[in-house]
Amino acid sequence: MLEVQDIKREVETLSHRLGKTQDYLDIPALSAKIQDLEQLAAQPNFWDNQTAAQTTLQELNDLKSHIQQYHQWKTSLEDTKAILELLELESDPGLLQEAETNVTQLSRELDRWELEQMLSGPYDAEGAVLTINAGAGGTDAQDWAEMLLRMYTRWAEDRGYQVHLSEISAGDEAGLKSATLEITGRYAYGYLKSEKGTHRLVRISPFNANGKRQTSFAGVEVMPILAQSVELEIPDKDLKIDTFRSGGKGGQNVNKVETGVRVEHVPTGIAVRCTEERSQQQNKEKALARLKAKLLIIAQEQRAQEIAQIRGDMVEAAWGNQIRNYVFHPYQMVKDLRTEVETSAITDVMNGELDPFIQAYLRQENQLVESGAV
């Protein structure tokens, strides 16, 4: 348990951080904006354009939540200061514990809020489609892909996101060849975009009778789930659409008719496939939406890099391309090669403890933006 003087120092630090948060939010301007949007929402013709109306209401709710959150933080800090005054008069372990809990929780919430301010990309606030593909390494790589699927599922569920396994292709002997997760929730894409790339595993292979060490790879691709209001026209001549039998569970039509759809953008060679819906039309619509997301992200990133460099599905999941190493043997370590962040708590990482890696990447990218490097 912290001492009173330790908590006082924490309170001073939090007061400074909350002051910076207040300046950043500009509460008077925020309140004026809320009033303007409320007046707009009260107009008789507000719902004539439902898409615009929903966008306005979402912005209004976001602004209100910012002010509400700030006032909650301010109240918590004031309550903690009051507790410290009481502790100056009389020692009370219960009050001391309450004060420590308050500063710990407030610090964590400010950490998360400050991190979210770095998620300012046009699609950072959206949900995410995360695809895992087994790379070099045979059966071990397919097993590794399944391990990553579990890791990302746990990460998302621990953060309160909704997770849907929309597609999976089983491995030949074990694991999986590919899998796609739809992760729904605010800032899912903003956080997970840092995971795009090749992930390398080193371990004693459970599939090798001689117990030899094996290196295997899996590729991760991340795209946003776009709002319906986002528009991108793709000429029909640029699309190649194939259908196939989906296979697996999903209804009586799945194995009898060609409900699965693969859509390729011919100029770039980018392709997506969708099998999770019961009808071909539904799968086609979903595949086109995912293709649109890929093309928009590529257009956004193309300012700094060529398409061949940024396309997740163009990077070979093999030696020399990895963003992160996971070493199970002869020692235990997970190390991100971009930020140099590492940990020996490999079990925690595989159970979804990815935030230290994600946060370090976002802070690094933010520093590069502020310095003008990108």
When mean pLDDT is compared over 233-247, 284-298, 307-321, 333-347, the highest value belongs to 333-347
Distance CA 139, CA 171 (A): 7
With a cut of 70, say whether residue 43 has pLDDT above it.
yes
Average the pLDDT over 201-225 and give the result: 90
User: Average model confidence (pLDDT) for the chain?
Assistant: 86
**Percent above pLDDT 70 for the chain:** 87
Core vs surface per residue 72-97: b (16+ CB within 10 A) or e: ebeebbeebeebbeebeeeeeeebbe
pLDDT tens by residue, 185-206: 989 999 999 999 999 999 999 9
Average the pLDDT over 22-39 and give the result: 93
257 confidence band (pLDDT: 50, 70, 90): low
User: Which pLDDT does position 246 carry in this prediction?
Assistant: 65
With a cut of 60, say whether residue 319 has pLDDT above it.
no
Domains of the chain: 4-116 (1.20.58.410)
User: Which pLDDT does position 200 carry in this prediction?
Assistant: 97
Nearest to 362 by CA among 169, 176, 165, 194: 194
Average the pLDDT over 255-277 and give the result: 78
With a cut of 80, say whether residue 184 has pLDDT above it.
yes
CA neighbours closer than 13 Å in the CB half-sphere of residue 145: 32
- Tokens of residue 141, six digits: 């790589």
Distance CA 327, CA 186 (A): 32
Average the pLDDT over 318-337 and give the result: 88
**Percent above pLDDT 90 for the chain:** 56
User: Which pLDDT does position 301 carry in this prediction?
Assistant: 62
User: Which pLDDT does position 373 carry in this prediction?
Assistant: 58
239 confidence band (pLDDT: 50, 70, 90): confident
